Amino acid sequence: MKTENRSVSILNIAVIVASLGYFVDIYDLLLFTIVRVPSLKSLGLSQEEIDNGAGLLLINIQMVGLLIGGIVWGIIGDKKGRLSVLFGSILIYSIANIANGFVQGINGYVLWRFVAGFGLAGELGAGITLVSEILPKEKRGYGTMIVATVGVSGAVAANLIAKLVGDWRICYFIGGGLGLALLILRVSVMESQMFNHVKASATTRGSFVALFTNKTRFLKYLKCMLLGAPTWFVVGILVAFSNKFASQLQVQGAVNPGDAIAFCYAGLVLGDLCSGLLSQLLKSRRKVMLIFLVFTAVMVGIYLNLHGAAMWVFYTVCFVLGFSVGFWAIFVTIAAESFGTNLRATVATTVPNFARGMLPLISILFVQVQHYFTYLQSGGIVAIICIGIALIAAWKIEETFGKDLNYVEEI
């Protein structure tokens, strides 16, 4: 293949669009978490229905949308192009966001949360793939760091807007409007020349099945996914149920899970920035993953031993805990850099969505362990499992910093 002349600027239009697209992506995901209960109450549902009926269905159907969308958008990204996914995913989740603001009943809500999940599944993977392919190999870590850092800050924005605006419908309209505005910027983005070269050849592209037909390729794919397990354990278990953990720890004061999530995501933003910079300084993705995973283990240990702590101490630990799992930029970059151009979008799009999809499995494990151990002990056991498998994956995975991405997988 020919070597392409790629932009040397880490703040080119592709990086900006990918960053803002992921910002709206995270905004919507966290906004749904924040407004799910008040929105369902306004639609006339009881607390019991919200906790165990329609409310649980909404969460599950959105996850199904994310998982299906991850596969579909990944294949499209490798077959049709990275820009096709950026345009399609942003358009779909923007329309779904606006439609969420108009729902009048639970059936409509379920439908549009599925559509939103489907749309949201494509943006990050396509954005990271595009940025990785257009930037010089020495600088692409900075580009993906910017995408993840700006993106995760969408969670902080969602929390602030939800508190300032109050009306859940308007919050959805804002998210949809931001997404549609992005489509104007998207017009200026050029397709990856690396992808164009492969598209012009007879190489098989976007074969999801190919990830499972070769043992070496499958194990590499599995290791990429397992790296994300600790992030969703921390966010989805420790912080999402922070009120229950705080109660068990007899923390002084009533802990609000929404505030704990806001502190955690603020830490995530800083963590993504620092992990990205550190990987460039150390010239290693693998070393940074190992450093942050060990730090995560330390912080989880501190969190589970905050007996009788003041509330401000608890929230501070939630912030630092968020920082410790702020390796999302490195995690997705490793996935994109580990595979050839003909499978890169498929991998980079499915890996983060499958990592998100591990949360229900982690939740089931957490519940089952509680049959034999206390609530706090169960949290510690599940932490050891999630962080342990991620450490093994990080230890075994290949170093991808500075890797030439201009190659294809033999299928």
Residue 235: HSE in the Cβ half-sphere, 13 Å Cα cutoff: 28
Determine the Cα–Cα distance for residues 63 and 251; give it in Å rounded to an integer: 32
Q: Do the beta carbons of residue 248 and residue 376 sit within 8 Å?
A: yes
Give pLDDT, residue 31.
86
Q: How far is CA 100 from CA 12, 50, 124, 172, 305, in A?
A: 32, 17, 21, 6, 40
Give pLDDT, residue 7.
44
Give pLDDT, residue 5.
42
Give pLDDT, residue 411.
80
pLDDT digits (tens, 9 = 90+) for 281-333: 999 999 999 999 999 999 999 999 999 999 999 999 999 999 999 998 889 89
Residues with Cβ within 8 Å of residue 19, at least 6 apart in sequence: 127, 146, 147, 149, 150, 151
Give pLDDT, residue 33.
80
Mean pLDDT of all residues belonging to the chain: 89
CATH class of 13-396: mainly alpha
Q: Do the beta carbons of residue 34 and residue 258 sit within 8 Å?
A: yes
Residue 191: HSE in the Cβ half-sphere, 13 Å Cα cutoff: 18
Give pLDDT, residue 3.
41
In which residue ranges of the chain is pLDDT below 70?
A: 1-8, 51-53
Domain locations in the chain?
13-396
Which of helix, strand or coil describes residue 194? Answer: helix
371 burial type by CB count under 10 A (0-12 exposed, 13-18 middle, 19+ buried) = exposed
Show the tokens assigned to 404.
Answer: 């030439």
Give pLDDT, residue 296.
97
Give pLDDT, residue 275.
93
Give pLDDT, residue 63.
87
Distance of CA 253 to the CA centre of its chain: 31
Alpha helices in 338-411 (DSSP H): 344-369, 375-396
Q: Do the beta carbons of residue 269 and residue 163 sit within 8 Å?
A: no
Determine the Cα–Cα distance for residues 27 and 279; give it in Å rounded to an integer: 26
Show the tokens assigned to 343.
Answer: 């499978």
